[in-house]
Amino acid sequence: MPSKSRAQQRMMQAIASGAKPQRGKGPSQAVAKEFVAADHARGATKLPQRIAAAITSGRSKHDL
């Protein structure tokens, strides 16, 4: 499953490389690696900074 936003993509990359989530909760490193692999397979695309920002700017959630 590829990332939905740049923030999610950065978080998954950090966890996949060994960083721990700040609040102690988050995806496992294996799940994060799956996201990174899916993002890499999809290639470089324009992701919104955050999903809420895309929704308020007039883009629908389905356009993401």
Q: What is the C-alpha to C-alpha distance for residues 9 and 35, in angstroms, rounded to an integer?
A: 8
Q: Could you tell me the CA-to-CA distances from 47 to 4, 21, 30, 53 in Å, in that order?
A: 7, 22, 23, 11
Enumerate the domain spans of the chain: 6-63
H or E element at residue 39: helix 29-42
- Residue count (the chain): 64
Looking at residue 31, its pLDDT comes to 94
Q: What is the pLDDT of residues 1-55, one digit of tens each?
A: 888 888 899 999 999 999 988 777 889 999 999 999 998 888 766 777 766 655 5
Say how far residue 40 (Cα) sits from the centre of its chain: 12
